[in-house]
Structure 1
Amino acid sequence: MEGENMCWKNGFFDALFPIDERVISVPYCLKEPSKRGEYLDVLIPNRKKTNVELAFKILEKNIPNRVYKYRTFSEFSLTNFRNDTLWATNPANFNDPFDSISIEKDISLKELDDILRTATEQMTIDDKSNGVYKGIYDTYKSIVSPEEQEKLEALFKIFSQVLTERTQYTFKVACLSETNTSVLMWSHYSNDHKGFCIEYNGQEIYNSDLIKKRFFPVKYISENERQIPISALALDYPGLYSVLCKTNVWSYEKEWRICFGMEENLESSNIQLPKSTGVYIGAKMPSEHRKAIIDIAKTKNIPIYQEVLHFSSRSISFERIM
Protein backbone atom coordinates (compact mmCIF):
# COMPACT_ATOMS: atom_id res chain seq x y z
CA MET A 1 0.00 0.00 0.00
CA GLU A 2 2.77 2.41 0.94
CA GLY A 3 4.62 1.58 -2.29
CA GLU A 4 1.53 2.38 -4.37
CA ASN A 5 1.10 5.61 -2.40
CA MET A 6 4.67 6.67 -3.16
CA CYS A 7 4.29 5.78 -6.84
CA TRP A 8 1.41 8.16 -7.52
CA LYS A 9 2.93 10.85 -5.29
CA ASN A 10 6.17 10.70 -7.26
CA GLY A 11 4.23 11.03 -10.49
CA PHE A 12 2.31 14.01 -9.13
CA PHE A 13 5.43 15.80 -7.88
CA ASP A 14 7.37 15.08 -11.07
CA ALA A 15 4.57 16.60 -13.15
CA LEU A 16 4.04 19.71 -11.01
CA PHE A 17 7.66 20.29 -9.96
CA PRO A 18 9.97 19.04 -12.75
CA ILE A 19 13.56 19.27 -11.57
CA ASP A 20 15.96 20.04 -14.40
CA GLU A 21 19.62 20.18 -13.36
CA ARG A 22 20.36 22.59 -16.21
CA VAL A 23 17.84 25.08 -14.83
CA ILE A 24 19.37 25.04 -11.35
CA SER A 25 22.62 26.49 -12.69
CA VAL A 26 20.90 29.46 -14.37
CA PRO A 27 21.14 32.67 -12.30
CA TYR A 28 17.91 33.52 -10.52
CA CYS A 29 17.74 36.96 -12.11
CA LEU A 30 17.23 35.29 -15.51
CA LYS A 31 14.49 33.01 -14.23
CA GLU A 32 12.27 35.00 -11.90
CA PRO A 33 11.35 37.95 -14.17
CA SER A 34 9.96 35.64 -16.82
CA LYS A 35 6.80 34.18 -15.32
CA ARG A 36 6.13 32.16 -18.45
CA GLY A 37 9.71 31.01 -18.84
CA GLU A 38 10.63 32.69 -22.12
CA TYR A 39 14.22 33.29 -21.02
CA LEU A 40 14.64 29.67 -20.00
CA ASP A 41 13.21 28.42 -23.28
CA VAL A 42 15.96 30.30 -25.10
CA LEU A 43 18.73 29.35 -22.67
CA ILE A 44 17.73 25.69 -22.29
CA PRO A 45 15.83 24.23 -25.25
CA ASN A 46 13.67 21.21 -24.41
CA ARG A 47 13.87 21.88 -20.68
CA LYS A 48 11.53 20.00 -18.36
CA LYS A 49 8.31 21.91 -17.87
CA THR A 50 5.38 21.77 -15.53
CA ASN A 51 2.50 19.60 -16.69
CA VAL A 52 -0.31 21.05 -14.58
CA GLU A 53 -3.06 19.10 -16.32
CA LEU A 54 -1.33 15.75 -15.71
CA ALA A 55 -0.43 16.67 -12.12
CA PHE A 56 -4.00 17.44 -11.12
CA LYS A 57 -5.34 14.45 -13.03
CA ILE A 58 -3.09 12.24 -10.89
CA LEU A 59 -4.01 14.12 -7.72
CA GLU A 60 -7.77 13.96 -8.27
CA LYS A 61 -7.63 10.17 -8.60
CA ASN A 62 -5.89 9.85 -5.24
CA ILE A 63 -7.67 12.26 -2.90
CA PRO A 64 -8.34 10.25 0.29
CA ASN A 65 -11.97 9.50 1.11
CA ARG A 66 -11.43 10.52 4.73
CA VAL A 67 -8.99 12.94 6.36
CA TYR A 68 -8.63 13.83 10.01
CA LYS A 69 -7.73 16.73 12.30
CA TYR A 70 -6.38 15.91 15.75
CA ARG A 71 -7.40 18.49 18.37
CA THR A 72 -6.76 19.35 21.99
CA PHE A 73 -9.83 20.40 23.95
CA SER A 74 -10.19 24.19 24.11
CA GLU A 75 -12.72 26.90 23.34
CA PHE A 76 -10.88 27.53 20.08
CA SER A 77 -11.01 23.88 18.95
CA LEU A 78 -14.66 23.62 19.97
CA THR A 79 -15.48 26.67 17.85
CA ASN A 80 -13.65 25.15 14.89
CA PHE A 81 -15.53 21.89 15.38
CA ARG A 82 -18.89 23.62 15.72
CA ASN A 83 -18.35 25.87 12.67
CA ASP A 84 -16.38 23.42 10.49
CA THR A 85 -13.42 25.76 10.25
CA LEU A 86 -9.69 25.07 10.27
CA TRP A 87 -6.93 27.48 11.23
CA ALA A 88 -4.24 28.23 8.63
CA THR A 89 -0.93 29.78 9.62
CA ASN A 90 2.64 30.34 8.44
CA PRO A 91 4.76 27.15 8.51
CA ALA A 92 7.22 29.10 10.67
CA ASN A 93 4.76 28.46 13.52
CA PHE A 94 4.81 24.65 13.09
CA ASN A 95 6.66 22.27 15.40
CA ASP A 96 9.24 21.31 12.75
CA PRO A 97 11.84 24.12 12.59
CA PHE A 98 12.83 22.99 9.07
CA ASP A 99 9.27 23.03 7.75
CA SER A 100 8.96 24.81 4.38
CA ILE A 101 12.51 26.13 4.25
CA SER A 102 13.80 26.99 0.79
CA ILE A 103 17.00 28.21 -0.72
CA GLU A 104 17.88 30.38 -3.66
CA LYS A 105 21.18 31.34 -5.19
CA ASP A 106 22.36 34.36 -7.08
CA ILE A 107 19.53 36.79 -6.39
CA SER A 108 20.50 40.30 -7.39
CA LEU A 109 20.70 42.99 -4.72
CA LYS A 110 17.80 44.83 -6.31
CA GLU A 111 15.64 41.68 -6.13
CA LEU A 112 16.63 41.11 -2.52
CA ASP A 113 15.84 44.73 -1.78
CA ASP A 114 12.39 44.27 -3.34
CA ILE A 115 11.80 41.13 -1.26
CA LEU A 116 12.64 42.95 1.96
CA ARG A 117 10.69 46.07 1.05
CA THR A 118 7.57 44.02 0.26
CA ALA A 119 7.96 41.91 3.39
CA THR A 120 8.26 44.87 5.74
CA GLU A 121 5.35 46.72 4.15
CA GLN A 122 3.01 43.72 4.47
CA MET A 123 3.91 42.72 8.01
CA THR A 124 1.43 43.14 10.82
CA ILE A 125 2.45 44.27 14.30
CA ASP A 126 2.41 40.63 15.44
CA ASP A 127 4.67 39.62 12.56
CA LYS A 128 7.14 42.34 13.47
CA SER A 129 7.45 41.07 17.04
CA ASN A 130 8.16 37.46 16.11
CA GLY A 131 10.76 35.27 14.44
CA VAL A 132 12.98 36.11 11.52
CA TYR A 133 10.89 39.07 10.41
CA LYS A 134 11.74 40.98 13.58
CA GLY A 135 15.39 40.91 12.57
CA ILE A 136 14.54 41.83 8.99
CA TYR A 137 12.22 44.64 10.05
CA ASP A 138 14.53 46.15 12.67
CA THR A 139 17.57 45.97 10.41
CA TYR A 140 15.87 47.22 7.28
CA LYS A 141 13.97 50.08 8.89
CA SER A 142 17.09 51.21 10.71
CA ILE A 143 18.88 51.81 7.42
CA VAL A 144 18.48 55.53 7.01
CA SER A 145 21.89 56.48 5.70
CA PRO A 146 21.89 57.83 2.13
CA GLU A 147 25.16 56.03 1.51
CA GLU A 148 24.47 52.97 -0.61
CA GLN A 149 27.41 51.00 0.74
CA GLU A 150 26.00 51.04 4.25
CA LYS A 151 22.69 49.73 2.95
CA LEU A 152 24.36 46.95 0.96
CA GLU A 153 26.33 45.77 3.98
CA ALA A 154 23.16 45.53 6.05
CA LEU A 155 21.39 43.63 3.27
CA PHE A 156 24.22 41.12 3.00
CA LYS A 157 24.05 40.42 6.75
CA ILE A 158 20.50 39.15 6.49
CA PHE A 159 20.80 37.75 2.97
CA SER A 160 21.18 34.08 3.97
CA GLN A 161 18.43 34.10 6.58
CA VAL A 162 15.89 35.69 4.26
CA LEU A 163 16.53 33.24 1.44
CA THR A 164 16.38 30.22 3.70
CA GLU A 165 13.22 31.07 5.61
CA ARG A 166 11.09 33.23 3.35
CA THR A 167 8.72 30.49 2.16
CA GLN A 168 7.94 29.84 5.83
CA TYR A 169 6.26 33.23 5.82
CA THR A 170 4.82 33.46 2.30
CA PHE A 171 2.22 30.70 2.68
CA LYS A 172 -0.67 30.01 5.02
CA VAL A 173 -1.11 26.30 5.58
CA ALA A 174 -3.67 24.08 7.32
CA CYS A 175 -2.78 20.46 8.06
CA LEU A 176 -4.79 17.23 8.02
CA SER A 177 -3.92 13.52 8.14
CA GLU A 178 -4.92 10.39 6.23
CA THR A 179 -5.04 8.38 9.45
CA ASN A 180 -6.88 8.58 12.77
CA THR A 181 -5.11 5.60 14.35
CA SER A 182 -1.66 7.10 14.99
CA VAL A 183 -0.78 6.68 18.67
CA LEU A 184 1.92 9.33 18.26
CA MET A 185 -0.49 11.89 16.81
CA TRP A 186 -3.08 11.23 19.50
CA SER A 187 -0.29 11.81 22.02
CA HIS A 188 1.25 14.90 20.39
CA TYR A 189 -1.74 16.73 18.93
CA SER A 190 -4.66 15.50 21.05
CA ASN A 191 -3.15 16.07 24.47
CA ASP A 192 -2.14 12.51 25.31
CA HIS A 193 -5.52 11.04 24.20
CA LYS A 194 -7.46 13.62 26.28
CA GLY A 195 -8.50 15.47 23.11
CA PHE A 196 -10.48 14.47 20.04
CA CYS A 197 -10.16 13.92 16.30
CA ILE A 198 -12.51 15.30 13.63
CA GLU A 199 -13.24 13.42 10.39
CA TYR A 200 -13.86 15.12 7.03
CA ASN A 201 -14.58 13.92 3.53
CA GLY A 202 -11.36 14.49 1.54
CA GLN A 203 -13.15 14.66 -1.81
CA GLU A 204 -15.54 17.34 -0.51
CA ILE A 205 -12.61 19.40 0.79
CA TYR A 206 -10.76 19.19 -2.52
CA ASN A 207 -13.85 20.17 -4.53
CA SER A 208 -15.02 23.00 -2.27
CA ASP A 209 -14.99 26.43 -3.92
CA LEU A 210 -12.43 27.98 -1.55
CA ILE A 211 -9.97 25.08 -1.48
CA LYS A 212 -10.19 23.76 -5.07
CA LYS A 213 -6.67 22.85 -6.27
CA ARG A 214 -5.11 23.95 -2.97
CA PHE A 215 -5.22 20.54 -1.25
CA PHE A 216 -1.98 18.56 -1.59
CA PRO A 217 -0.16 15.53 -0.14
CA VAL A 218 3.10 15.97 1.72
CA LYS A 219 6.14 14.30 0.18
CA TYR A 220 8.54 12.73 2.68
CA ILE A 221 12.18 12.99 1.70
CA SER A 222 15.53 11.82 3.05
CA GLU A 223 17.16 14.03 5.67
CA ASN A 224 20.19 14.13 3.37
CA GLU A 225 18.28 15.19 0.27
CA ARG A 226 19.58 18.52 -0.93
CA GLN A 227 17.47 21.62 -0.95
CA ILE A 228 16.22 22.51 -4.42
CA PRO A 229 16.07 26.22 -5.32
CA ILE A 230 12.41 27.11 -5.77
CA SER A 231 13.01 28.75 -9.14
CA ALA A 232 14.51 25.51 -10.48
CA LEU A 233 11.07 24.00 -10.19
CA ALA A 234 7.72 25.26 -11.47
CA LEU A 235 7.43 28.96 -12.13
CA ASP A 236 3.67 28.37 -11.95
CA TYR A 237 3.87 27.39 -8.27
CA PRO A 238 6.96 29.09 -6.80
CA GLY A 239 7.79 27.98 -3.29
CA LEU A 240 5.06 25.35 -3.01
CA TYR A 241 7.52 22.46 -3.40
CA SER A 242 9.27 23.52 -0.19
CA VAL A 243 5.95 23.72 1.66
CA LEU A 244 5.02 20.19 0.60
CA CYS A 245 8.30 18.44 1.48
CA LYS A 246 9.14 17.15 4.95
CA THR A 247 11.81 14.73 6.12
CA ASN A 248 11.06 11.04 6.64
CA VAL A 249 10.96 11.34 10.44
CA TRP A 250 7.49 12.90 10.00
CA SER A 251 6.13 10.26 7.60
CA TYR A 252 3.93 8.66 10.28
CA GLU A 253 1.70 11.77 10.05
CA LYS A 254 0.55 10.89 6.49
CA GLU A 255 -0.13 14.58 6.07
CA TRP A 256 -2.18 16.55 3.58
CA ARG A 257 -2.01 20.34 3.39
CA ILE A 258 -4.34 23.12 2.33
CA CYS A 259 -2.02 25.84 1.02
CA PHE A 260 -2.70 29.50 0.29
CA GLY A 261 -0.06 31.91 -1.00
CA MET A 262 0.07 35.23 0.85
CA GLU A 263 -0.67 37.01 -2.43
CA GLU A 264 -4.13 35.41 -2.43
CA ASN A 265 -5.20 37.70 0.43
CA LEU A 266 -7.05 35.05 2.38
CA GLU A 267 -9.88 36.93 4.12
CA SER A 268 -9.67 34.88 7.32
CA SER A 269 -7.13 32.47 8.73
CA ASN A 270 -10.09 30.30 9.72
CA ILE A 271 -10.73 28.34 6.53
CA GLN A 272 -14.27 27.16 5.94
CA LEU A 273 -14.47 23.40 5.39
CA PRO A 274 -17.38 21.20 4.33
CA LYS A 275 -19.38 19.68 7.18
CA SER A 276 -17.44 17.15 9.25
CA THR A 277 -18.44 13.50 8.83
CA GLY A 278 -17.60 12.17 12.29
CA VAL A 279 -15.79 12.77 15.56
CA TYR A 280 -13.53 10.51 17.65
CA ILE A 281 -13.27 11.01 21.41
CA GLY A 282 -9.92 10.34 23.09
CA ALA A 283 -9.74 7.43 25.53
CA LYS A 284 -8.60 9.68 28.38
CA MET A 285 -10.93 12.63 27.75
CA PRO A 286 -12.54 13.93 31.01
CA SER A 287 -16.29 13.33 31.27
CA GLU A 288 -17.25 17.03 31.18
CA HIS A 289 -15.24 17.55 27.98
CA ARG A 290 -16.71 14.38 26.53
CA LYS A 291 -20.23 15.73 27.09
CA ALA A 292 -19.37 18.98 25.28
CA ILE A 293 -18.09 17.09 22.23
CA ILE A 294 -21.12 14.80 22.15
CA ASP A 295 -23.51 17.77 22.41
CA ILE A 296 -21.91 19.51 19.41
CA ALA A 297 -21.84 16.27 17.40
CA LYS A 298 -25.53 15.70 18.09
CA THR A 299 -26.43 19.15 16.74
CA LYS A 300 -24.39 18.36 13.63
CA ASN A 301 -26.00 14.91 13.35
CA ILE A 302 -22.70 13.12 12.74
CA PRO A 303 -21.42 9.75 14.05
CA ILE A 304 -19.56 9.72 17.37
CA TYR A 305 -16.80 7.22 18.10
CA GLN A 306 -14.92 6.36 21.28
CA GLU A 307 -11.19 5.55 21.18
CA VAL A 308 -10.31 2.19 22.74
CA LEU A 309 -6.78 1.39 23.93
CA HIS A 310 -5.60 -2.22 23.45
CA PHE A 311 -2.75 -2.76 25.88
CA SER A 312 -1.91 -6.30 24.76
CA SER A 313 -1.21 -5.17 21.18
CA ARG A 314 -0.27 -1.56 21.95
CA SER A 315 -2.81 -0.37 19.40
CA ILE A 316 -6.04 1.61 19.26
CA SER A 317 -9.45 1.11 17.68
CA PHE A 318 -12.81 2.89 17.82
CA GLU A 319 -16.33 1.97 18.86
CA ARG A 320 -19.32 3.90 17.60
CA ILE A 321 -21.33 5.17 20.56
CA MET A 322 -23.95 7.30 18.73
Structure 2
Amino acid sequence: MDIIPVYKLMSGENYHVDGLRKNTVWFSNVEQLNDPYEGRIYFEQEEVSIANMKSALTQIFYLNNNDLKKSRREVEDRFKKMGKTIFTKHIHKNVSRHFHEFLKTHHKERHVLSLSKANLSLKENLFPEPLSLMMMWAHYANGFRGFCIEYDYSKLIKSINKINDIRLDAREVEYVKSNLPIIKSSTVIDDIIYKNNKTSKEIIKALCY
Protein backbone atom coordinates (compact mmCIF):
# COMPACT_ATOMS: atom_id res chain seq x y z
CA MET A 1 0.00 0.00 0.00
CA ASP A 2 1.31 3.44 -0.93
CA ILE A 3 2.04 5.89 1.86
CA ILE A 4 -0.20 8.95 1.81
CA PRO A 5 2.17 11.58 3.20
CA VAL A 6 0.99 14.57 5.23
CA TYR A 7 3.19 17.01 7.09
CA LYS A 8 3.15 19.07 10.25
CA LEU A 9 5.61 21.95 10.42
CA MET A 10 6.42 22.92 14.00
CA SER A 11 8.32 25.76 15.63
CA GLY A 12 10.22 23.40 17.95
CA GLU A 13 8.75 24.46 21.29
CA ASN A 14 9.14 22.17 24.31
CA TYR A 15 5.59 20.84 23.94
CA HIS A 16 6.34 19.89 20.31
CA VAL A 17 9.36 17.87 21.43
CA ASP A 18 7.31 16.39 24.28
CA GLY A 19 4.71 15.30 21.72
CA LEU A 20 7.42 13.45 19.79
CA ARG A 21 8.52 11.63 22.94
CA LYS A 22 4.96 10.63 23.83
CA ASN A 23 3.90 9.93 20.23
CA THR A 24 0.97 12.37 20.39
CA VAL A 25 -0.49 15.09 18.16
CA TRP A 26 -2.04 18.39 19.26
CA PHE A 27 -5.56 19.42 18.32
CA SER A 28 -6.24 23.15 18.68
CA ASN A 29 -9.60 24.62 19.61
CA VAL A 30 -11.05 27.18 17.22
CA GLU A 31 -9.88 30.15 19.31
CA GLN A 32 -6.27 28.96 19.02
CA LEU A 33 -6.21 28.81 15.21
CA ASN A 34 -3.79 31.38 13.82
CA ASP A 35 -5.95 32.59 10.93
CA PRO A 36 -8.76 34.93 12.05
CA TYR A 37 -10.90 33.79 9.10
CA GLU A 38 -10.85 30.11 10.10
CA GLY A 39 -14.24 29.09 11.38
CA ARG A 40 -15.72 32.49 10.54
CA ILE A 41 -19.38 32.30 9.53
CA TYR A 42 -21.94 34.90 8.56
CA PHE A 43 -25.50 34.47 9.77
CA GLU A 44 -28.18 35.75 7.39
CA GLN A 45 -31.87 36.30 8.07
CA GLU A 46 -34.25 35.37 5.27
CA GLU A 47 -37.96 34.92 4.71
CA VAL A 48 -39.38 31.92 6.55
CA SER A 49 -43.01 30.82 6.47
CA ILE A 50 -45.17 31.47 9.53
CA ALA A 51 -45.93 27.74 9.62
CA ASN A 52 -42.22 26.91 9.98
CA MET A 53 -41.75 29.60 12.60
CA LYS A 54 -44.62 28.13 14.62
CA SER A 55 -43.25 24.59 14.20
CA ALA A 56 -39.81 25.64 15.44
CA LEU A 57 -41.21 27.43 18.47
CA THR A 58 -43.44 24.43 19.20
CA GLN A 59 -40.36 22.19 19.30
CA ILE A 60 -38.63 24.56 21.71
CA PHE A 61 -41.67 24.64 24.03
CA TYR A 62 -41.95 20.87 23.73
CA LEU A 63 -38.40 20.48 25.08
CA ASN A 64 -39.51 22.34 28.21
CA ASN A 65 -42.90 20.76 28.90
CA ASN A 66 -42.83 17.42 27.01
CA ASP A 67 -46.44 18.04 25.92
CA LEU A 68 -46.91 18.56 22.18
CA LYS A 69 -50.57 19.67 22.31
CA LYS A 70 -49.85 22.16 25.08
CA SER A 71 -46.86 23.48 23.14
CA ARG A 72 -48.96 24.07 20.02
CA ARG A 73 -51.60 25.93 22.06
CA GLU A 74 -48.93 28.13 23.64
CA VAL A 75 -47.53 29.01 20.21
CA GLU A 76 -50.98 29.87 18.82
CA ASP A 77 -51.78 31.99 21.87
CA ARG A 78 -48.51 33.87 21.51
CA PHE A 79 -49.11 34.42 17.78
CA LYS A 80 -52.59 35.85 18.45
CA LYS A 81 -51.33 38.19 21.18
CA MET A 82 -48.30 39.44 19.22
CA GLY A 83 -49.67 39.58 15.70
CA LYS A 84 -47.76 38.51 12.59
CA THR A 85 -45.22 41.38 12.49
CA ILE A 86 -44.12 41.26 16.12
CA PHE A 87 -44.19 37.45 16.16
CA THR A 88 -41.90 37.37 13.11
CA LYS A 89 -39.44 39.80 14.72
CA HIS A 90 -39.52 37.75 17.91
CA ILE A 91 -38.67 34.55 16.02
CA HIS A 92 -35.90 36.20 13.98
CA LYS A 93 -34.31 37.66 17.11
CA ASN A 94 -34.39 34.37 18.99
CA VAL A 95 -33.20 32.27 16.03
CA SER A 96 -30.18 34.58 15.72
CA ARG A 97 -29.47 34.27 19.44
CA HIS A 98 -29.94 30.50 19.30
CA PHE A 99 -27.50 30.21 16.41
CA HIS A 100 -24.74 32.31 17.97
CA GLU A 101 -25.01 30.45 21.29
CA PHE A 102 -24.90 27.16 19.41
CA LEU A 103 -21.87 28.36 17.42
CA LYS A 104 -19.97 29.22 20.63
CA THR A 105 -20.74 25.79 22.07
CA HIS A 106 -19.75 24.14 18.81
CA HIS A 107 -16.40 25.94 18.75
CA LYS A 108 -15.67 24.88 22.33
CA GLU A 109 -16.39 21.23 21.54
CA ARG A 110 -14.59 21.03 18.19
CA HIS A 111 -10.81 20.69 17.89
CA VAL A 112 -8.69 20.86 14.77
CA LEU A 113 -5.47 19.18 13.65
CA SER A 114 -4.09 21.07 10.65
CA LEU A 115 -1.86 19.09 8.32
CA SER A 116 -0.29 19.85 4.96
CA LYS A 117 -0.94 17.36 2.18
CA ALA A 118 1.88 16.42 -0.20
CA ASN A 119 1.19 17.67 -3.72
CA LEU A 120 2.86 14.55 -5.18
CA SER A 121 3.27 10.95 -4.08
CA LEU A 122 6.63 9.94 -2.61
CA LYS A 123 7.23 7.77 -5.66
CA GLU A 124 7.05 10.86 -7.85
CA ASN A 125 9.04 13.14 -5.56
CA LEU A 126 10.71 12.39 -2.21
CA PHE A 127 10.74 16.11 -1.40
CA PRO A 128 7.31 17.36 -2.49
CA GLU A 129 5.56 20.53 -1.48
CA PRO A 130 5.12 21.70 1.23
CA LEU A 131 8.60 20.45 2.21
CA SER A 132 10.12 22.42 -0.66
CA LEU A 133 8.26 25.66 0.11
CA MET A 134 10.56 28.01 1.99
CA MET A 135 7.68 30.32 2.93
CA MET A 136 6.02 27.46 4.84
CA TRP A 137 9.23 26.77 6.74
CA ALA A 138 9.66 30.46 7.52
CA HIS A 139 6.09 30.93 8.75
CA TYR A 140 5.27 27.69 10.55
CA ALA A 141 8.73 26.45 11.58
CA ASN A 142 9.91 29.52 13.49
CA GLY A 143 11.97 31.05 10.69
CA PHE A 144 13.61 27.75 9.64
CA ARG A 145 14.56 26.89 13.25
CA GLY A 146 11.80 24.33 13.73
CA PHE A 147 11.19 20.91 12.23
CA CYS A 148 8.68 18.93 10.22
CA ILE A 149 7.04 15.57 10.92
CA GLU A 150 5.87 13.34 8.09
CA TYR A 151 2.90 11.08 8.80
CA ASP A 152 1.25 8.33 6.83
CA TYR A 153 -2.23 9.86 6.77
CA SER A 154 -4.16 6.56 6.76
CA LYS A 155 -2.20 5.12 9.70
CA LEU A 156 -2.42 8.38 11.65
CA ILE A 157 -6.22 8.61 11.39
CA LYS A 158 -6.72 4.94 12.25
CA SER A 159 -4.41 5.27 15.24
CA ILE A 160 -6.14 8.38 16.63
CA ASN A 161 -9.59 6.83 16.20
CA LYS A 162 -8.59 3.54 17.83
CA ILE A 163 -6.71 4.98 20.81
CA ASN A 164 -9.31 7.64 21.62
CA ASP A 165 -12.42 5.71 20.56
CA ILE A 166 -13.65 8.56 18.37
CA ARG A 167 -14.35 9.24 14.70
CA LEU A 168 -12.48 12.05 13.02
CA ASP A 169 -14.02 14.09 10.24
CA ALA A 170 -11.30 15.08 7.77
CA ARG A 171 -11.62 17.58 4.94
CA GLU A 172 -9.30 19.48 2.64
CA VAL A 173 -9.10 23.22 3.14
CA GLU A 174 -10.69 25.24 0.34
CA TYR A 175 -9.32 28.69 -0.48
CA VAL A 176 -12.07 30.85 -1.90
CA LYS A 177 -12.10 34.34 -3.35
CA SER A 178 -15.82 34.81 -2.79
CA ASN A 179 -17.61 35.50 0.49
CA LEU A 180 -17.04 33.32 3.51
CA PRO A 181 -19.65 30.66 4.40
CA ILE A 182 -23.16 31.86 5.19
CA ILE A 183 -25.68 30.03 7.33
CA LYS A 184 -29.25 31.17 6.78
CA SER A 185 -31.98 31.40 9.37
CA SER A 186 -34.05 28.86 7.42
CA THR A 187 -31.29 26.27 7.95
CA VAL A 188 -31.38 26.81 11.71
CA ILE A 189 -35.20 26.71 11.84
CA ASP A 190 -35.31 23.50 9.77
CA ASP A 191 -32.73 22.03 12.12
CA ILE A 192 -34.89 22.87 15.14
CA ILE A 193 -37.95 21.31 13.49
CA TYR A 194 -36.47 18.21 11.83
CA LYS A 195 -33.26 17.77 13.86
CA ASN A 196 -31.30 17.13 10.67
CA ASN A 197 -27.98 18.47 12.08
CA LYS A 198 -27.61 20.69 9.01
CA THR A 199 -26.40 23.62 11.13
CA SER A 200 -23.60 21.52 12.65
CA LYS A 201 -22.59 20.24 9.22
CA GLU A 202 -22.41 23.80 7.88
CA ILE A 203 -20.31 24.93 10.85
CA ILE A 204 -17.85 22.06 10.39
CA LYS A 205 -17.69 22.82 6.67
CA ALA A 206 -16.89 26.46 7.46
CA LEU A 207 -13.81 25.38 9.44
CA CYS A 208 -12.32 24.24 6.14
CA TYR A 209 -12.56 27.59 4.33
Smaller-chain TM-score bracket: 0.5 to 0.7
Task: Classify 1:221/1:162 alpha carbon distance in 2 versus 1 (closer, same or farther; 3 Å).
Answer: farther
Aligned counterpart, 1:197: 148
Q: Distance in 2 between matches of 1:219 and 1:64?
A: 23
- Number of the residue aligned with 1:102: 41
Any unmatched runs of 5+ in structure 1?
Answer: 1-62, 115-151, 247-322
Structure (1 or 2) with the greater helix fraction: 2
Q: How does 1:174-213 map to 2 (within 5 A)?
A: 174-178=113-117, 179-208=130-159, 209=162, 210=164, 212-213=167-168
Q: Which has the higher strand share?
A: 1
Partner of 1:72: 11
Residue 169 of structure 1 aligns to a residue in which SS?
A: helix
* Residue 242 of structure 1: aligned partner: 206
Letter of the aligned partner of 1:182 in structure 2?
L
Aligned residues with identical type, % of pairs: 21
Q: Which amino acid aligns with 1:78?
A: V
Q: Could you tell me which residue of structure 2 aligns to residue 90 of structure 1?
A: 29
TM-score (norm 1): 0.36
| 2:110 alignment counterpart | 171
Higher RCO (CA 8 Å, separation ≥ 6 residues) = 2
User: Contact 2:41 / 2:180 at 8 angstroms: preserved in 1?
Assistant: no
Residue 223 of structure 1 and its aligned partner are, at CA, apart by 3.9
What runs of 5+ residues in structure 2 fail to find an aligned partner?
Answer: 46-52, 64-89, 118-129
3-state secondary structure, aligned to 1:175: coil
How far, CA to CA, are the matches of 1:197 and 1:168 in structure 2? 27
Separation (CA, whole Å) in 1 of partners of 2:107 and 2:116? 20
| 2:136 counterpart SS class | helix
Q: For residues 222 and 228 of structure 1, what CA distance do their matches in structure 2 show?
A: 18
| Largest Rg, 1 or 2 | 2
Q: How does 1:142-291 map to 2 (within 5 A)?
A: 159=97, 162=101, 167-178=106-117, 179-208=130-159, 209=162, 210=164, 212-229=167-184, 231=188, 235=197, 238=201, 239-244=203-208, 246=209
- Tell me the number of residue pairs that the alignment of Structure 1 and Structure 2 aligns: 140
Write the letter of the residue equivalent to 2:206: S
The answer to whether the 8 A contact 2:42-2:180 is kept is no
- RMSD (CA atoms): 3.7
Q: 1:67 to 1:218 in 2, by over 3 A?
A: same
The structural deviation recorded for 1:162 is 4.0
Which residue identity is paired with 1:214?
D
**Aligned-pair CA distance for 1:212:** 4.8
- Find the aligned partners of 2:142 and 2:176 in 1 and give their Cα distance: 28
Superimposed CA distance per residue, residues 253-300 of structure 1 (whole angstroms, 9 cap, x where no aligned partner): xxxxxxxxxxxxxxxxxxxxxxxxxxxxxxxxxxxxxxxxxxxxxxxx
Residue pair 2:27, 2:113 contacting (<8 A) in 1 also: yes
Is the contact made by 1:190 and 1:196 (CA closer than 8 Å) also made in structure 2? yes
Report how far residue 172 of structure 1 moved: 1.1
- Give the letter aligned to residue 174 of structure 2: K
